[in-house]
A and B are shown apart, each in its own frame.
Chain A
């Protein structure tokens, strides 16, 4: 039992409980939708004639049948008055299994379907689409979970009895199911991508290539994001600037993309297919003609494409007013990240000009040409701030992998416990550049752990070793200490170390002394402590997500404890937010390199395009519906409603009393696209005038009756 459970566990990743059938869909459609959903009322039909329920019970290849007597359950189901047919199959989800359902539906033997098998998250949609293929309405279906909720947790007769109860309840409910139509929402064929870095640009291009208009919003004056600050990218050595240029050129040439630079987002409202984004120009200082010129110079903003859009997109362009509104069908968050800013004094940063971040070093390396083959005897030295650099200490994991109790939070006030992933490769890339171009400069790489992860990037470590980079390893909590010569001298004045400056040996006579000393306890040299004289200290500062708290609040999207944005599920629903119509890509999600960011961008583009492609969006129909004949307009349901805009009081003309058509009454009305289907309104309605499609009160009652009925279980 145990080992079986373990083996089968991976399949159950998204388990749902039986009574929550359909809950997943409800949540998916959850938050913010409205529109003109049409719910066919089949209630009268359901009342008039008795339904023919077909019950199909799955063996799951032993997963269920090893513990549940499936044939006994089938026999018991056959005795139920509502059940027309009861069948079993080794694998109901297999083609022959689905064919059983399709044949019975086509032959008119059944008109309501119950499958008792695994969790609905796995195969509810499978069976609904089988019913659809048979030409029936997919919502005449009810699912019973007898694997996760029965055979994996019970055995013997109790298992069979519990399965019987669950299937009987499902069959009872199925008898009252009515055909439903998905809620249909018209969607703007337009996407807004927030953030003009490599992820945002790639996403925009992907979506625009699918024929959907895109507004690309960038807060700075030019696209490129983090890549603007990078030099050669690992492992190919391609220039980041070249990549940005290529993408920018493509974006400027693309008639479906409108790039808004210098823009902040003020507000986001609406719901999937119909978001409204308010943007504001943040160029406060320069206005009018001046700013226009800079736009043109950057080649950033294309005028004209706004009016050209084929969708109903209205953009009241910023221009002179400095504000605009974008109506859009989907949103992609590509808001990116920035590098960690060391606390003043961290490894001497801020106190000493010779302690810099990797980002600062890289900006300097942009000007460096790597010679094809450097002379073996070249003694050329790297220069920083006019000073010749004989040796550099490169310290890894600054502001990354911080450990509570050992490290102090950075200037953001947070402890970054994650690995920033990209700094190892970036550091080694920089080291190799320096060693190749300036063979006279010695480079010490001091790391806690080192991993140039990713295809082709292991090569960087080899290249660093080939180029005689010296590696040293320290333990967390025993970080290298950076001290100026003066600090070291005062420290050691009463020490045995005299003259203190002896630590700064290694220089040639007549040369200036080293300004800094790095003391490191090197585990690669058996934990011995060394003083390393250096001219420059470089800190591999990690990645921190950009602050997008106002957007997070406006869109109600989830954020992880590490402050990165949180997708629904990394495997099952990557780059998606639980809020329908909003996606994410790039380093707003996690530290990743440019290649990975582009991958995520491609995924987000594919998902956004697939969502908007049809021009409308179908949402599950499990929402509240008002019986206007019964509604007395008391408004208690509107008060109880937890989702703003889902329920409203409206005045309608009624012929309820005398046929006088000008009489007006107040009734509650549901906006199906926004309704969460939570049922709070159903609970408070005194007139039973509001009910939940697919989860009606009557259906619940029937299920409870079936559960408490005697004699079903043997």
Chain B
């Protein structure tokens, strides 16, 4: 079930024209190495985040996060930083586990505002969804 939703979300996003990016199709999932979109961080700023490149990957946000294991939200933030859009979409469901308690934003030593990055990612995913 989850997988279906996931792939749907993904195809919505990747085929979306709003981003102005080329369509990558579903092939991304099968590639041994991920590809990087150099314009993604900028793209995301339209959805409300402009601090993600401040992050220096210390992991404080993941350590303090009470809910989700597996390096959340650090991993998501890292994907945004390097523009690994496919990896974000592969794991998009994680975004909806976040409760927005704000602990990560409060403890971030770089004021990279991890909470806001997660919110922006949700908006990004949703905007692509609505479009389709």
Please list the residues of chain A having a beta carbon within 8 angstroms of any beta carbon in chain B.
390-391, 442, 444, 465-466, 468-472, 495-498, 502-503, 505-509, 519, 522, 524-526, 528-533
**B20 and A508 contacting across the interface, CB-CB below 8 Å:** yes
**A496 and B36 contacting across the interface, CB-CB below 8 Å:** no
Which residues does chain A contribute within 8 Å of B38, judged by CB atoms?
390-391, 442, 506, 532-533
**B53 and A531 contacting across the interface, CB-CB below 8 Å:** no
Which residues does chain B contribute within 8 Å of A472, judged by CB atoms?
82
Asked whether A465 and B110 contact (CB < 8 A) given A497-B27, A508-B20, the answer is yes
Asked whether B122 is an interface residue with its Cβ less than 8 Å from the other chain, the reply is: no
Nearest chain A CB to B48 CB, angstrom units: 16
**B22 and A507 contacting across the interface, CB-CB below 8 Å:** yes
Which one of B2-10, B71-79, B94-102, B113-121 is at the interface? B71-79
Which residues does chain A contribute within 8 Å of B37, judged by CB atoms?
505-506
Whole-angstrom CA separation of A470 from B20 in the bound complex: 22
**B22 and A533 contacting across the interface, CB-CB below 8 Å:** no
Additional 11 contacts, C-beta under 8 A, given A465-B54, A496-B31:
A390-B38, A391-B38, A442-B39, A444-B82, A470-B81, A470-B82, A472-B82, A497-B30, A502-B27, A526-B78, A532-B36
Nearest chain B CB to A183 CB, angstrom units: 60
Asked whether A530 and B34 contact (CB < 8 A) given A497-B27, A498-B27, A525-B82, the answer is yes
Which residues does chain B contribute within 8 Å of A465, judged by CB atoms?
53-54, 56, 110
| Most chain A CB inside 10 Å of its own CB: which residue of B24, B32, B37, B38 | B38
Which residues does chain B contribute within 8 Å of A503, judged by CB atoms?
31, 33, 35
Asked whether A530 and B54 contact (CB < 8 A) given A390-B38, A505-B37, the answer is no
**A533 and B36 contacting across the interface, CB-CB below 8 Å:** yes
Q: Which 4 A-B pairs have the closest CB atoms?
A: A529-B33, A506-B37, A468-B53, A442-B38
Asked whether B128 is an interface residue with its Cβ less than 8 Å from the other chain, the reply is: no
Asked whether A530 and B35 contact (CB < 8 A) given A465-B53, A505-B22, A525-B84, the answer is yes
Whole-angstrom CA separation of A509 from B28 in the bound complex: 18
Which residues does chain B contribute within 8 Å of A528, judged by CB atoms?
33-34, 84, 87
Asked whether A505 and B35 contact (CB < 8 A) given A524-B57, A524-B78, A525-B79, the answer is yes
Pick from B30, B54, B75: contact of A466, CB below 8 A: B54
| Most chain B CB inside 10 Å of its own CB: which residue of A471, A506, A524 | A506
Asked whether B41 is an interface residue with its Cβ less than 8 Å from the other chain, the reply is: yes
Subset of 7 A-B contacts with CB under 8 Å: A465-B56, A503-B33, A506-B39, A528-B33, A529-B33, A530-B82, A532-B36
Pick from B22, B27, B32, B54: contact of A529, CB below 8 A: B32
Nearest chain A CB to B28 CB, angstrom units: 8
Which residues does chain B contribute within 8 Å of A505, judged by CB atoms?
21-22, 24, 35, 37
**B56 and A471 contacting across the interface, CB-CB below 8 Å:** yes
Which residues does chain A contribute within 8 Å of B41, judged by CB atoms?
468
**A531 and B110 contacting across the interface, CB-CB below 8 Å:** no
**A526 and B75 contacting across the interface, CB-CB below 8 Å:** yes
**A496 and B30 contacting across the interface, CB-CB below 8 Å:** yes
Asked whether A497 and B31 contact (CB < 8 A) given A502-B24, A506-B36, the answer is yes
Q: Which B residue sits closest to A391, measured CB to CB?
A: B38
Which residues does chain A contribute within 8 Å of B30, judged by CB atoms?
496-497
Which residues does chain B contribute within 8 Å of A498, judged by CB atoms?
27
Q: Which B residue sits closest to A525, measured CB to CB?
A: B78
Those of B6-61 within 8 Å (CB) of chain A: 20-22, 24, 27-28, 30-41, 53-54, 56-57
Nearest chain A CB to B75 CB, angstrom units: 7
Asked whether A496 and B82 contact (CB < 8 A) given A465-B54, A502-B27, the answer is no
**B34 and A509 contacting across the interface, CB-CB below 8 Å:** no
Pick from B32, B53, B71: contact of A470, CB below 8 A: B53
Q: Which A residue sits closest to B40, measured CB to CB?
A: A506
Q: Which B residue sits closest to A517, measured CB to CB?
A: B35
Pick from B21, B32, B75, B78: contact of A497, CB below 8 A: B32
Which residues does chain B contribute within 8 Å of A529, judged by CB atoms?
32-34
Which residues does chain A contribute within 8 Å of B53, judged by CB atoms?
465, 468-470
Q: Which A residue sits closest to B28, measured CB to CB?
A: A502
Nearest chain B CB to A71 CB, angstrom units: 62
Whole-angstrom CA separation of A495 from B33 in the bound complex: 12
Nearest chain A CB to B50 CB, angstrom units: 9
Whole-angstrom CA separation of A490 from B83 in the bound complex: 25
Which residues does chain B contribute within 8 Å of A506, judged by CB atoms?
21, 35-40, 83
Nearest chain A CB to B33 CB, angstrom units: 4
Q: Which B residue sits closest to A390, measured CB to CB?
A: B38
Which residues does chain B contribute within 8 Å of A508, judged by CB atoms?
20, 39
Which residues does chain A contribute within 8 Å of B81, judged by CB atoms?
470
Pick from B28, B36, B54, B71: contact of A526, CB below 8 A: B71
Pick from A497, A509, A531: contact of B36, CB below 8 A: A531
